[in-house]
Structure 1
Amino acid sequence: MMSPESRDSYRRPSRNAYNGRRRSSPSEGRDYREPRDYRENREPRESRETRESREYREPREPREPKLPQPDVEDDIEEAVAEAKRGDEKKPELNVTDLQKMTIKELHDIAKREGVKEYTGLKKQDLIFKILKDRTSQSGLMFGQGVLEVLPDGFGFLRSPDYNYLPSPDDIYISPSQIRRFGIRTGSVVSGQIRPPKEGERYFALLKVEAINLDSPDVVKDKVVFEDLTPLHPNKRLILETGAKEIEMRVMDLLTPIGKGQRALIVAPPRTG
């Protein structure tokens, strides 16, 4: 610890001690530079493009998940050519027929088609593997289902065997095909399909061959049900046939029915 005498002797130098010295500025020793002009007075460089001369670029749209694009004509011609080059003796496979088969029948088909590692697969996965292996061998495949159009414009063909719920063997149908034929949700669509390509998950419809069991050209010209002119019944249908049948007499009095009119009959269980 310092004594009071040593504290007095140890003092900082006074400010006057620095008065005789000259502090060196950091800019000494460098070349003199003229002050720059303001940015407003600067001339643009020749290599720099003005903002007015630049081309306007539109903002990019967000990328959608990769889905099959079966509406390309090259895919259709390629699939047909491969099918012709394949074995003509092989029977055509239909997705609807495979969905109605049992596991044992599917195993027999997989064995006949030469599918590898098919044991232990679920029914949906087994159907998917059979169809994919069949197409790789240049065979024709056909599918059928009830169309469900999604809000994004494309749709899927659902199967009644799965209660019209999404399944791995659903068939994708492109928005262009839906617009071209005017197909709506609930229509039964059938046609030739192809297996999913790399990065795709679903089978895709190559060609629409029938809509509601009719030709696509005929269905395309049909008027939508909501736009049809309603025809109301103008002739009454008499249900009473005899004086002893009181039930029919009551129906004529309480709920008269006209020709062409629809009716819903409700009865308790085991009464009819």
Structure 2
Amino acid sequence: MAAQMPTDEKIRRADVVFWNEGARVRLSSQIQVFYNTWLAPEAKALQARSMIFNLNELRQLPLNELIAMASAAELRNAVGLPRAELIYELMRFHLGAGAQVQAAGVLEFLPDGSVSLRDAARSFRPCKDDPLLPHDPVRNHGLRPGQAVTAKLRLPRQSRENGRLVVDALLSIEGKPAEQYTAPKDFDRLTPLIPRERLILENNVNKAASMRVLDLITPLGLGQRALIVAPPRGGKTVLLKTIASSLRANYPDLDLLILLLDERPEEVTDFEETVDAPVYASTFDEPSKRHAQLSDLVLERARRLVEQGRNVVIMLDSLTRLARGYNANQIGGRTMSGGLGSNALEKPRKFFGAARNVEEGGSLTIIATCLVDTESRMDEIIFEEFKGTGNMEIRLDRELAERRIYPAISIPQSGTRNDDRLYHPDELVRVLQLRRQLASVPGWEGLEMLQRNIAATQNNAELLLRGLR
């Protein structure tokens, strides 16, 4: 400024004034004003650009921590917002400030043509903070429903993005860098084979007698399509849980997926606490549309894993409730006996029929429960439709359950197709001898005899060598 200008005029025109005389504390405060006005915004912007947020980790934070973050960001009405909306607003704020936000999830292709990134930790439940994937990367990489991706996000730029967070760039696809990913052969073009590699359920972790019974009566193979036919309170949930624990103990590399539909919330929690595997659940208080959406996405995820040569096991409870969900979700069409729609079983058949051993490598095993003796005509029709489609059937008996004989497996009515391909030839001879002995014993006494012999031996090999006594 001109030296001749009066001091008052200099102060009026200047953005910041530094006095070279007077108290030191006044000079410090003037410097702080200068920093806050000119330097601090640039420093904050630089700091924001260096910050990286993970959307999945943010979703796991307690609500009070999210509210504290919102308060620090000076977001209005943060306390009253629903959890998903609060996370969405936080991400919008940090993206607007220049921070990087990353998210991992599974792709869901919606009927309107859009593609969303769903979080597996929330059982793929649709939420407002789910990012949107543009069509260009889908076409460029040949992406399919159920694909697992990691992406960098951005704010919406177009009205068709409906104000949602949008994928700006794909970082990885199925664990590989996006630029190195090549789409594998489609699941429907893979060659299905009869199961040949056995999954042994007997183990030293839970030491369950029921698993030894299944190994002897209904051997399980990779690619099996297994049906557990059960009356109410027949012990199907406990049996399913024990099979899952045994598979995890014996085959830690197996991709085990638990799918619970129309289930009680406490049963879901019990599965999550006792089985070391991802549990995808839709409880009975959720709409049938949600059951269908979850089952579709879990199946697509399993198909994508098989395409990569992985061995996948889906444990479904239950096939009956899955069919009910699709039936309630069906629009139009004829209604048949029992209130079942003419096309209601089309997708459940596709789900159960997806189980197969694959010649190119990999397999999809499905172990599903099916309800009988429920006094529901619809449930009986559903069972009749699926009765001949599986290649393994475990029949639980109401009489055995009432006698408190567990596992309540009906030995004469249970079995596996082509089980000779799963046993060693020497083992098969002794297994057939054991089954003939059990067939000669009437009713529930056969299972009791088998359980006594199981309790008296360390393992099935010892039992087969010594025979029933």
Which TM-score tier does this pair reach, normalised by the shorter chain? 0.5 to 0.7
Q: CA deviation at 1:214?
A: 2.5
Q: CA deviation at 1:164?
A: 2.4
Determine the structure 1 residue equivalent to 2:151.
191
Determine the structure 2 residue equivalent to 1:97.
57
Given the alignment, which residue of 189, 206, 225 partners 2:168?
A: 206
Letter paired with 1:130: L
Structure 2: distance between partners of 1:165 and 1:262: 29
1:223 and 2:185 are equivalent in the alignment: yes
Q: CA deviation at 1:86?
A: 3.2
TM-score, normalised to structure 2, is: 0.33
Q: CA deviation at 1:208?
A: 0.8
The structure number with the bigger radius of gyration is 1
* C-alpha contact 2:116 2:130 (8 A) present in aligned 1: yes
Letter paired with 1:192: K
Determine the structure 2 residue equivalent to 1:169.
129
Runs of 5+ unmatched residues, structure 2: 1-44, 203-208, 229-234, 243-469
Q: CA deviation at 1:161?
A: 4.9
3-state SS in 1 of match to 2:98: coil
* C-alpha contact 2:153 2:167 (8 A) present in aligned 1: yes
TM-score, normalised to structure 1, is: 0.54
Structure 2: distance between partners of 1:113 and 1:143: 21
Q: CA deviation at 1:219?
A: 3.6
Q: Compared with structure 1, are the counterparts of its residues 90 and 110 closer, same or farther at alpha carbon in structure 2 (3 Å cutoff)? A: farther
Cα RMSD of the aligned pairs, angstroms, is 3.6
Letter paired with 1:187: Q
Q: Compared with structure 1, are the counterparts of its residues 239 and 169 closer, same or farther at alpha carbon in structure 2 (3 Å cutoff)? A: closer
- Higher fraction of helix: 2
Structure 2: distance between partners of 1:136 and 1:211: 26
Q: Compared with structure 1, are the counterparts of its residues 208 and 269 closer, same or farther at alpha carbon in structure 2 (3 Å cutoff)? A: closer
Q: CA deviation at 1:173?
A: 0.8
Structure 1: distance between partners of 2:77 and 2:155: 18
Structure 2: distance between partners of 1:160 and 1:236: 29
Q: CA deviation at 1:212?
A: 2.5
Q: CA deviation at 1:197?
A: 3.4
Runs of 5+ unmatched residues, structure 1: 1-84
Within-5 A mapping of 1:100-111: 100-111=60-71
3-state SS in 2 of match to 1:220: coil
* C-alpha contact 1:95 1:143 (8 A) present in aligned 2: yes
1:134 and 2:126 are equivalent in the alignment: no
3-state SS in 2 of match to 1:191: strand
Within-5 A mapping of 1:112-123: 112-123=72-83
Structure 2: distance between partners of 1:118 and 1:236: 54
Determine the structure 2 residue equivalent to 1:155.
115
Q: CA deviation at 1:89?
A: 7.8
Determine the structure 2 residue equivalent to 1:24.
none
Q: Compared with structure 1, are the counterparts of its residues 165 and 89 closer, same or farther at alpha carbon in structure 2 (3 Å cutoff)? A: closer
How many residues of Structure 1 are paired with residues of Structure 2 in the alignment? 182
- Same amino acid, percent of matched pairs: 24
Structure 2: distance between partners of 1:195 and 1:221: 28
